[in-house]
Amino acid sequence: MKRIVTIQDISCLGKCSITVALPIISAMGVEAAIIPTAVLSTHTMFKGFTCKDLDDQIVPITDHWKNEGIKFDGIYTGYLASGQQIATVMSVIDKLKDDTLVVVDPAMADNGKLYPAFDSEFPKEMAKLCGKADIILPNITEASFLTGSEYKTEYDESYIDELLKKLAALGSKKVVLKGVVLDGKYGVICYNCKTGERSMYSHEKIPVGYHGTGDVFSSTFVGALMRGKSMEDAVKLAADYTVECIKITFNRVGEDFYGVDFETAMPFLIDRLK
């Protein structure tokens, strides 16, 4: 069985980060270890959330594993609590990396805005972490913050080309750009930074946004890669499962205020792995 470690926060309630990554990755038949970077009462879209930064635990946890000779097939980072913590996580990647696939979801922004806990310096630190990744998974907002580009909701292919080139310059091998709208089609672009090759997977757009869908996508993507799928096939599965989760949640009015109903959609995911 493949083993990954995911490095992100625990939002005790809110269906995002580790409470999404663990069940999804485990259900896909991949062992998921965790390094919790902070404990929050809820995700930061709730007012009055509490947050205990666990920065001082990250290196001791890693060192213990190193001493025990534990190895990982993948490292998957998500929401991180501060710019300082990004530096810590970069040192952890250096320590743990050993023929290990590094996937960075620069979870920090959506709809043109940074998440409430972050200031304008945060994307600069996240850009450095992206340089350590094999694959990065930004949405358009994150891509614009990471590259210092204007955020646009209406654009043509040249805007996307420019974003992809600038993202590639951050240093990862591949880019998966989410939430792209081109020629009336909505989807995800896979980009090979070395060859410039790219492909777009188009999928249905449900006219609603929920928190945690990025984490559902990233967790499924990482699980699929660990199960031996190509990047393109992993993107298809991650996008299709995320859309399925959104559809189910959309039909359950009143239960949708903090995340998607990924649990009900789980059989869809398992079926697709058969």
Q: Give the three-class secondary structure for 19.
A: helix
Q: According to CB under 6 A, which one of 19, 44, 88, 218 is a site residue for ligand PXL? A: 44
Strands 185-192 and 174-182: antiparallel
At a CB cut-off of 8 Å and minimum separation 6, what does 146 contact?
106, 123, 126, 127, 130, 138, 166, 167, 170
# of chain residues touching ligand PXL (CB under 6 A): 15
In the shown chain, the binding pattern of residues 145 to 174 toward ligand PXL, with x for contact by CB under 6 A and - for none, equals ------------------------------
The answer to whether 181 contacts ligand PXL (rule: CB under 6 A) is no
φ and ψ at 227, to 5 degrees?
A: -85, 10
Q: According to CB under 6 A, which one of 106, 138, 212, 223 is a site residue for ligand PXL? A: 212
CA angle 162, 165, 169 (to 5 degrees): 135
In the shown chain, the binding pattern of residues 2 to 41 toward ligand PXL, with x for contact by CB under 6 A and - for none, equals -------x-x----xx----------------------x-
Shortest distance (Å) from residue 230 CB to ligand PXL: 26
CB of 139 or CB of 147, closer to ligand PXL: 139
The answer to whether 107 contacts ligand PXL (rule: CB under 6 A) is yes
Q: How many CB atoms lie within 10 A of CB 251?
A: 11
Segment lying near ligand PXL (by CB under 6 A), choices 86-94, 139-147, 158-166, 212-220? 212-220
Cα separations in angstroms, 101 against 7, 172, 226: 14, 11, 9
The answer to whether 211 contacts ligand PXL (rule: CB under 6 A) is yes
Cα separations in angstroms, 135 against 5, 9, 69, 102, 204: 15, 20, 25, 7, 24
The answer to whether 219 contacts ligand PXL (rule: CB under 6 A) is no
In the shown chain, the binding pattern of residues 57 to 86 toward ligand PXL, with x for contact by CB under 6 A and - for none, equals ----------------------x-------
